[in-house]
Structure 1
Amino acid sequence: MGSGLKRSMRILTYSGVFVLAYLMAYPILWMAASSLKDNSEVFNHAHSLIPNEWRWDNYVRGWEGFGDYTFFTFFKNSFVITIAATVGAVSSSALVAYGFTRTMFAGKGLLFVCMMMTMMLPAQVLVIPQYVFFQKIGWVNTFLPLIVPAFFGSAFFIFLLMQFIRGIPMDLDESAKIDGCGKFGIFFKIMLPLIVPALVTASIFQFYWVWDDFFSPLLYLNETKLFTVSLALKLFSDPQNATDWSGMFAMSVLSLLPVVIIFVLFQRFIVEGISTTGIKS
């Protein structure tokens, strides 16, 4: 009786998990299925995930892009911006986190409080001042407003890395000092190798956020040749003519591939990095 009850509970649990997983994945499955349907079939047979006619040419047509620019240009722009912003945000945040954690200086507490307060500031408050500033220095319609600010650190990443660094024994710093290492030597030779899980976690988050960002490129980029993938997908929607839904969904599926690949390759670092356990003594 006991084993039968356990078996029934296990089947019920797995069934519930499967249903929840299907509900969560359904929008992505619907988008993938729609990318292989004819335009007339996308919404007329929206309930079906199996196309009546498999239209692989949707991917070819979508990749052709707009005018003289294929989606290769848009993917290239997205990768340039995302990789540069990710490197900038993670490297600068790691350096600042190390300074707050391992260095004593006047005003340290006040600066830390000010940094943490920036996490409570709505991003919308900064939109107009930032745009006016970048417009005055001639950075609008370039990648610079999307990349350079990342090199000044992120309060969230700084706090995350600080918690990780605090779990590293100070004895390692003292041993390195005895061997002649300075502050930067300790950072590059001791800290960086030990905080790799946290760095990878921060890199994954930053990559996701920048890759998926629509508003910032919309605000600063005006020429089609500079558009990111998120902006280029908007071009499929044409109020004057019929929208190419199939092509848009096809390119939307491709736009998910970098995110999925990175998650699959580095997912083990996410939990390890967020746990902020440092190293175990």
Structure 2
Amino acid sequence: MTEVTVRHDAPTDKPTLTEVADQYPEPATTPSRWRANLRSVLKHTGLILFGLTMLYPLLWMLVSSFKPNDLIFREPGLIPSDVTLSNYTDGWTALLHPFDHYLLNSMIIVAGSLIGNLISCSMAAYAFARLQFRGRNLWFAIMLMSIMLPIHVIIVPQYILFSELSWINTFLPLIVPKLLATDAFFIFLMVQFFRGIPSELDEAARIDGCGHGRIYLRIMLPLSVPALATTAIFTFIWTWNDFFSQLVFLTRPDMYTVPVALRTFIDSTGESSWGPLFAMSIVSLLPLFLVFLFGQKYLVKGIATTGIK
């Protein structure tokens, strides 16, 4: 029999872990990466400081609404030395009517403006986007030019017209124009959105026997929810904050809306009720905050998708 001898000191071909680690050292952090991280930190720090600067007036008003009236301007900081809830109770009943009366007036105007803009502006936008009629481009250009007209130019003719119709001190001057598609910005917004919807859908609906009315109701409106939501949100915000038009057309105290009612807290003689004013201002901001909070995704989607063609 042949004896086989095995040598245990024969070298192995596989390198050890230490040798592998020596061959592939850890990459060192490059200076460019440090600069990128530094820029990111500085950018986010600047954005946070800018956001706090923008929010400071609102935070100051919120804190001041809980301060006694004589401490509001003596202690301008955000940490009050004395806290009171009397500003909210006094402000709610300080005017001729409770403050919910003015909130209701504003809600009536906002509701009418919402319905008017959603119906009339969407119908006008459908006509400009889908119908072929003589002078369409001319009327569309005139509609766009009306955006550049400030309200101060048309307020006097409007007042004369509404006065002849005995509409002063009613909600009609603030609601009826919305039913006539007078907000050209929303028409343009919806026109751009409607043009992004494939026209093949219209042709398929016509083959099934649909007219323009059913195409508008069954196809265009369901597909235009982001644009409609954007119109509704902007209409709510602009109408709720409108002061000039409501001050001109509503002169009776029982017809005041929230912005006009807040103005009555400021006395021209210097005896202004700043605490109740700030408290009711916070109350009036709550609907705007809720609408923007729950409608933000529709607002962003509507603006982002409008104009994509």
The interval holding the TM-score normalised by the smaller chain is over 0.9
Which residue is 1:19 aligned to? 49
Greater shift after overlay, 163-172 or 81-90? 81-90
The answer on whether the counterparts of 1:160 and 1:198 sit within 8 Å (CA) in structure 2 is: yes
| In 2, Cα distance between equivalents of 1:155 and 1:137 | 24
Counterpart code for 1:116: L
Which residue is 1:174 aligned to? 203
- Structure 2 vs 1, CA of residues 198 and 235 (structure 1 numbering), >3 Å: closer, same or farther? same
Select which of 240, 246, 256 maps to 1:211: 240
Q: Which runs of 5+ in 2 are unaligned?
A: 1-28
| In 2, Cα distance between equivalents of 1:25 and 1:110 | 44
Greater shift after overlay, 191-200 or 109-118? 109-118
Which residue is 1:271 aligned to? 300
Which residue is 1:223 aligned to? 252
| In 2, Cα distance between equivalents of 1:198 and 1:273 | 5
Please report how far the alpha carbon of residue 275 of structure 1 lies from its aligned counterpart in structure 2 after TM superposition.
2.3
Deviation readout 1:189-245 (Å, 9 max, x if unpaired): 000000110010011111111100001111011111110000010111123462110
Which residue is 1:110 aligned to? 138
Please report how far the alpha carbon of residue 149 of structure 1 lies from its aligned counterpart in structure 2 after TM superposition.
0.6
Q: Does 1:97 align with 2:132?
A: no
Deviation readout 1:141-200 (Å, 9 max, x if unpaired): 111001111111121111110100111111100111111211000000000000110010
Q: Which runs of 5+ in 1 are unaligned?
A: none
Select which of 61, 71, 75 maps to 1:45: 75
Deviant stretches of 4+, over 6 Å: none
Deviation readout 1:37-58 (Å, 9 max, x if unpaired): 1111111112x11111111221
Q: Does 1:194 align with 2:216?
A: no
| In 2, Cα distance between equivalents of 1:8 and 1:192 | 48
* Number of positions where the alignment pairs a residue of Structure 1 with one of Structure 2: 278
SS in 2 for 1:105: coil
Counterpart code for 2:216: F
The answer on whether the counterparts of 2:120 and 2:180 sit within 8 Å (CA) in structure 1 is: yes
Counterpart code for 1:273: G
The answer on whether the counterparts of 1:168 and 1:279 sit within 8 Å (CA) in structure 2 is: no
- Structure 2 vs 1, CA of residues 278 and 131 (structure 1 numbering), >3 Å: closer, same or farther? closer
Which residue is 1:143 aligned to? 171
Which residue is 2:261 aligned to? 232
The answer on whether the counterparts of 1:163 and 1:276 sit within 8 Å (CA) in structure 2 is: no
Counterpart code for 1:105: F
Larger radius of gyration: 2
Counterpart code for 2:236: F
Please report how far the alpha carbon of residue 84 of structure 1 lies from its aligned counterpart in structure 2 after TM superposition.
0.8
Please report how far the alpha carbon of residue 279 of structure 1 lies from its aligned counterpart in structure 2 after TM superposition.
9.2
Which structure shows the higher helix fraction?
1
SS in 2 for 1:180: coil
- Structure 2 vs 1, CA of residues 264 and 201 (structure 1 numbering), >3 Å: closer, same or farther? same
CA RMSD of aligned residues (A): 1.6
Q: Using structure 2 for the length normalisation, give the TM-score.
A: 0.86
Which residue is 1:185 aligned to? 214
Which residue is 1:163 aligned to? 192
Identity of aligned residues (%): 44
Please report how far the alpha carbon of residue 28 of structure 1 lies from its aligned counterpart in structure 2 after TM superposition.
0.5
- What does 1:62-73 align with in structure 2 at a 5 Å threshold? 62-67=91-96, 69-73=97-101
| In 1, Cα distance between equivalents of 2:111 and 2:142 | 28
| In 2, Cα distance between equivalents of 1:209 and 1:177 | 38
Please report how far the alpha carbon of residue 12 of structure 1 lies from its aligned counterpart in structure 2 after TM superposition.
2.1
Deviation readout 1:43-82 (Å, 9 max, x if unpaired): 1112x11111111221111111313x10000000001101
Which protein has greater RCO, CA pairs closer than 8 Å, 6+ apart? Answer: 1
The answer on whether the counterparts of 1:97 and 1:158 sit within 8 Å (CA) in structure 2 is: yes
Which residue is 1:32 aligned to? 62
